[in-house]
Amino acid sequence: MKTIQFREAIAEAMSEEMRRDEAVYLMGEEVAEYNGAYKASKGMLDEFGPDRVIDTPISELGFSGIGVGSAMNGNRPIVEFMTFNFSLVGIDQIINNAAKMRQMSGGQFNVPIVFRGPTASAGQLGATHSQAFESWYANTPGLKVIVPSNPYDAKGLLKAAIRDDDPVIFMESEQMYGDKGEVPEEEYVLPIGVADIKREGKDVTIVSFGKIIKIAYKAAEELEKEGISCEIIDLRTIRPMDHETILKSVKKTNRLVILEEAWPFGNVATEITYQVQSQAFDYLDAPIVKINTADTPAPYSPVLLEEWLPNHNDVIKAVKKVMYKD
């Protein structure tokens, strides 16, 4: 094993896949000469040259669509959005073209493309720069959606995404790029659509994904001291969702808290809640609780942003509520 940063995990995954398959290229704003706005493609221009590591103008609609077109004609593009907030400028190409091409052409054209970049909030960046669109993308048939939470998962899942023959949305976080974690020296690929139990426990199941899962770890540690044992499931893939792992855990703990950094209306947690109540209703000892960001655009002011975001105390409160300990 070796210890690397999240951003290095991303760069390693892309570089290994580009060495392995010459159809793969990386394209986006500042990915080449600047080594990535968050240095997630460091060294790649030097290794692969400007034909395969390509700086684009600020033209998300254009380069998303060029990516899709090239994927219909033999390439396996990795398209980077500086953040997924800016994917909205290009979302037509993702939803109307990438996601539907195979179906509309009766299976003739698959679109092996990865759209990747940071999602959700990253400090006081205000309303347009703090959005989480996991549930938007996951709502769309034809797409797969991956949100890793540590370097190991990020590397293994990004390699899988690049090898996948369908379009994949791969979401990272500005606030995770510096996180360190262990990865094997040798090559590995992780399966898409498989959740991971990050912490075993018996009293309550907490389901989460992405960077916000870290506050669940913190809450679980504090709850442990009070004798409450939390099981933490990291979804890793949002679509397709690993319902089996969630259901198995809920059948064991009989209690579920879902932590998702996203607006509360019709989000990923809502979908999990539906699935669990319909498939494990009799196992539930308490109503499911979900913790999200406030039902407003993200405010800039630090005191408001703190209220807007979930924190570990919210998780502790939720766990105690489903255990009737409040």
Partner 1 sequence: MKKITKATYLKWYEDMLFWRKFEDKLAQVYIQQKVRGFLHLYNGQEAILAGALHVMDLEKDRMITAYRNHVQPIGMGVDPRRVMAELYGKKTGTSQGMGGSMHIFSKEHRFYGGHGIVGGQIPLGAGLAFADKYFKRDAVTLTFLGDGAARQGSLHETFTMAVKWNLPVVFCVENNGYAMGTSVARTSKSTEIWKLGLGYDMPCGPVDAMNPEKVAEALDEAITRARKGEGPTFLELKTYRYRGHSMSDAQKYRTKEEVAEYQKIDPITQVKDILKENKYASDKEIKAIDKRVKDLVSECEKFAEESEFPDIQTMYDVVYEQKDYPFLPHKL
Ligand X SMILES: Cc1ncc(C[n+]2csc(CCOP(=O)(O)OP(=O)(O)O)c2C)c(N)n1
89 binds ligand X (CB under 6 A): yes
Q: Which of 30, 129, 222, 243 is catalytic?
A: 129
Among ligand X, partner 1, none, the one that 289 touches (CB under a kind-dependent 5 to 8 A) is partner 1
Nearer to ligand X by C-beta: 136 or 152? 136
Q: Which of 8, 12, 29, 60 is catalytic?
A: 60
- Using the rule CB under 6 A, which residue among 34, 39, 52, 86 binds ligand X? 86
Nearer to partner 1 by C-beta: 23 or 294? 294
Element (H, E) at 171: strand 168-172
Q: Which residue has the tokens 């993200």?
A: 298
Residue 196 phi/psi, 5° resolution?
-130, 130
Nearer to ligand X by C-beta: 95 or 286? 95
Reading the block at residue 205, the tokens are: 């199941």
User: What is the C-alpha separation between 38 and 6, in angstroms, rounded?
Assistant: 11
Q: Which span (81-89, 142-150, 216-224, 309-317) binds ligand X, by CB under 6 A?
A: 81-89
125 binds ligand X (CB under 6 A): no
Nearer to partner 1 by C-beta: 31 or 158? 31
1 binds ligand X (CB under 6 A): no
Q: Where does this chain bind partner 1 (CB under 8 A)?
A: 29-30, 33-34, 37, 55-59, 61-62, 85-86, 88-89, 123-129, 263-265, 289, 291-297, 299-304, 307-308, 310, 314, 317-318, 321
**Cβ within 8 Å of residue 181, ≥6 positions away:** 3, 4, 6, 9, 150, 151, 152
Residues that contact ligand X, how many (by CB under 6 A)? 6
Is residue 33 among the annotated active site residues?
no
Is residue 129 among the annotated active site residues?
yes
Q: What minimum distance in Å lies between the beta carbon of 297 and partner 1?
A: 7
Of residues 65, 68, 154, the one with CA closest to residue 118: 154
User: What is the C-alpha separation between 190 and 92, in angstroms, rounded?
Assistant: 29
Residue 77 phi/psi, 5° resolution?
-75, 150
- Cβ atoms of residues 85 and 93 within 8 Å: no
Among ligand X, partner 1, none, the one that 304 touches (CB under a kind-dependent 5 to 8 A) is partner 1
User: What is the C-alpha separation between 182 and 68, in angstroms, rounded?
Assistant: 33
Contacts of residues 224-229 at CB distance under 8 Å and 24 or more positions apart, as own/partner, are: 228/203, 228/204, 228/319, 228/320, 228/323, 228/325, 229/201, 229/202, 229/203, 229/204
Q: What minimum distance in Å lies between the beta carbon of 81 and ligand X?
A: 8
Among ligand X, partner 1, none, the one that 292 touches (CB under a kind-dependent 5 to 8 A) is partner 1
Among partner 1, ligand X, none, the one that 69 touches (CB under a kind-dependent 5 to 8 A) is none
Beta-carbon-side half-sphere exposure of residue 28 (alpha carbons within 13 Å)? 29
User: What is the C-alpha separation between 34 and 98, in angstroms, rounded?
Assistant: 28
- Cβ atoms of residues 16 and 178 within 8 Å: no
- Using the rule CB under 6 A, which residue among 29, 153, 196, 203 binds ligand X? 29
Task: Give CA 291 to chain center in angstroms.
Answer: 17
Among partner 1, ligand X, none, the one that 297 touches (CB under a kind-dependent 5 to 8 A) is partner 1
The binding track of 50-69 with respect to ligand X, each residue x by CB under 6 A or -, is --------x-x---------
Point out the residues that are catalytic. Answer: 60, 129
Would you tell me which residues interact with ligand X (CB under 6 A)? 29, 58, 60, 82, 86, 89
